[in-house]
Amino acid sequence: MQVTETLTFDAYWDDPEYRCKRPVRNGSRKTIMGDNIYHRPQGMTAWIQEDSHHSQIDGSPEPSNIKNDTQTNRVLLSRNFYYFGNAAPVVPGGILTQLGYHNGIGHRKFTLAQAQPLLDWIQDQYKGQINTVIGIPYQFMKSSSRYSKRMDKIVE
């Protein structure tokens, strides 16, 4: 994804355009996974974590996820992305080696010049599929489960 906009968690929470991203735990698989889960009421410093895939099994806040997820008060948005989910392609190794990519948790930041070979390959392979869901999210069928940063696993 190319980051095209950033918002604070509160701005993301309050923006009517993103209310549809709030989780509905008794909704469809798609709405269960909503990611608009953190906010702070005006004048408060403590984060509220809505009942979500990042909460404890009973829906109460999961402190380790709150601490991890809110390290930076910024939501990254994109209007220029490919969402591969469980259909992630195998990228030719030479492209990744040239980029200096290594697999692991967390985001990476590359210059446009560094990333251009990968971007060219993706754009060539997936013409006409920009801003679309190419594959369903990994472990989508476990959407009613919860994730624990403290345990680093999905808890059912």
Note the pLDDT tens digit of each residue in 3-15: 899 999 999 999 9
Task: Round to whole Å and give the CA distance between 16 and 7.
Answer: 13
pLDDT at 117 over 90: yes
pLDDT at 83 over 90: yes
**CA torsion, ordered 137, 100, 153, 36, to nearest 10 deg:** -50
Check residue 142 and give its pLDDT.
Answer: 67
The DSSP element (H or E) to which 148 belongs, if any, is strand 146-148
Q: What pLDDT digit, counting tens, does each position of 31-80 carry?
A: 888 899 999 999 999 999 999 989 998 999 999 999 999 999 999 999 99
Check residue 152 and give its pLDDT.
Answer: 73
pLDDT, mean of residues 94-112: 83
pLDDT, mean of residues 13-23: 96
Q: 19-33, 103-117, 131-145: lowest mean pLDDT where?
A: 131-145
